[in-house]
Structure 1
Amino acid sequence: MNYLSWLADPANWSGPGSIPVQILVHLAYSLISLVIAMFIALPLGVYIGVTGKGVNLIAGIANTLRALPSIGVLVLAVMLVSLAFTNDLAYQIPTIIVLVMLGIPPVLTNTYAGIQATDPAAVDAARGMGYSTRQVLWHVQIPCALPLMLSGVRSAFLQIISTATIAAVVSLGGLGRFIIDGGATSNYPEMVGGAIVVAAVALAVELILVGVGRLVVSPGLRRTSTRRARVSSAKPEPSTATIAFDLTP
């Protein structure tokens, strides 16, 4: 069986249920979920990183969110939300809730870890210059933590994109539509084609986010880190030579 025949069929690339349309729907769910997850996780991660309070509690909650079965939570959320809504919101809201739960842990943990990993000497120097706590946060801690924070956002977005296929389980659109419908009709080329498109979209998003990360992170910060590494490698090793004294009469 030619599993790539479905991707090569022009009929699948045009129309309301075509591949481009489902990619846009898939990305829409993913972007909305990522923005909500960042809105929740970034401030909370900054607060934990600065104050050091609740690290163990938040780490436990983050690990619990990772361990929850996505489809089970989705079905339960649909049952609860459907009591208040009878239209498409009864399925869209639970789907976004599940995706947000997946996106919060990477953003949260990387944010407070990046804040706490800031060089204490840089923080002390900023305070010695008269910086307030807020100024130290915005001018020292967040710039230093930015690479790790962006890594958390990238990881969260990839997890959300990969899991957004569950929207098709509750009859919503997205790339999971091809996988679910293909399985229901034993159309294996459609299932394989849908899986390939999901992987391609995730890979494209990964490359885009890597490029954005390189643009956002200050070039001056990268040059400073490189210069410090060169200076450290160029420092002479401490002498281990010993001096022998002749004490014989």
Structure 2
Amino acid sequence: MTTLTDAWGWLTDSTHWTGPDGVGQRLLEHLVLTVVCLVLSCLIALPIALVLGHLGKGGALAVNLSNVGRAVPTFAVLVLLLLTPLGEIGEGPTVVALVLFAVPPLLTNAYVGMRGVDRGVVQAARGMGMTGRQMLWRVELPLALPMVLGGVRIAAVQLVATATIAALAGGGGLGRIITAGFNRASTPQVVAGAVLVAAFALLVEGLFEVVERAPGWARGRAAA
């Protein structure tokens, strides 16, 4: 219990929350890195998943290929990227590694959501004279939206937890608190950093849960 007590004492010490190395600054860095990687991952994965889900062709192959990346540890990808010219571009290797890590759940959930739309509804929309693009945006995507958002939620939480590797490449974020604790042989600081990351991940999970329970999303889930 001594370690937990000391970790709590570290967290409640106001001097650890201010300044360029304080929790506030590290939390902001962690948030920015997570949002940037999540946006880039969505821009890559969602268009592919939505189009392939609409067409019903090539989706299984794309999902399987993206899931191959899950077998490769993100840290290993980061180390390899650091050995390339990309390693000279600030947090470029970290961003690329995290984006590759976040693509599979986004792609899988969006594709499954699109293919799970009632085919009868799609046929009815086609019978009404809707074009392929109209069916995608007005029928399939609204019904698949709960699954799509579920993939975004999974990716966001995973990114929050995994973005700590940025510290290993000299980047910012809450991981710097953990690595600094290791460097100082301060177990309470390491535990405090881990608690902050876990709390941040739970907060993100809770925010997405609130959004998914909103009336609009609930209606979309029921219709799906």
The TM-score range, normalised by the shorter chain, is over 0.9
SS of 2:91's partner is: helix
What pairs up with 1:1-249 in 2 under 5 angstroms?
A: 1=2, 2-82=6-86, 85=88, 90-215=89-214, 217-218=216-217, 220-221=219-220
Q: In the aligned structure 2, how far is the partner of 1:51 from the partner of 1:95?
A: 33
Shift of 1:216: 7.5
Shift of 1:187: 0.5
Shift of 1:96: 0.3
Q: In the aligned structure 2, how far is the partner of 1:213 from the partner of 1:46?
A: 20
Shift of 1:51: 1.5
Give 1:244's aligned residue.
none
Q: Note if contact 1:36-1:100 (Cα within 8 Å) is conserved in structure 2.
A: yes
Shift of 1:224: 5.6
Q: How many residues align?
A: 220
Distance of aligned partners of 1:191 and 1:145 in 2 relative to their CA distance in 1, 3 Å threshold: same
Shift of 1:202: 0.6
Q: In the aligned structure 1, how far is the partner of 2:179 from the partner of 2:132?
A: 52
Give 1:234's aligned residue.
none
Q: Note if contact 1:81-1:94 (Cα within 8 Å) is conserved in structure 2.
A: no
Distance of aligned partners of 1:167 and 1:224 in 2 relative to their CA distance in 1, 3 Å threshold: closer
Identity of aligned residues (%): 40
Report which stretch shifted further, 66-75 or 160-169.
Answer: 66-75
TM-score (norm 2): 0.92
**CA offsets 1:129-171 (integer angstroms, 9 cap, x no match):** 1111111111110011000000000000111110000000011
Between Structure 1 and Structure 2, the one with more helix by share is 2
Report which stretch shifted further, 122-131 or 51-60.
Answer: 51-60
Q: Structure 1 stretches (4+) deviating beyond 6 angstroms?
A: none
Q: Which amino acid aligns with 2:212?
A: G
Give 1:243's aligned residue.
none
SS of 2:185's partner is: coil
SS of 1:41's partner is: helix
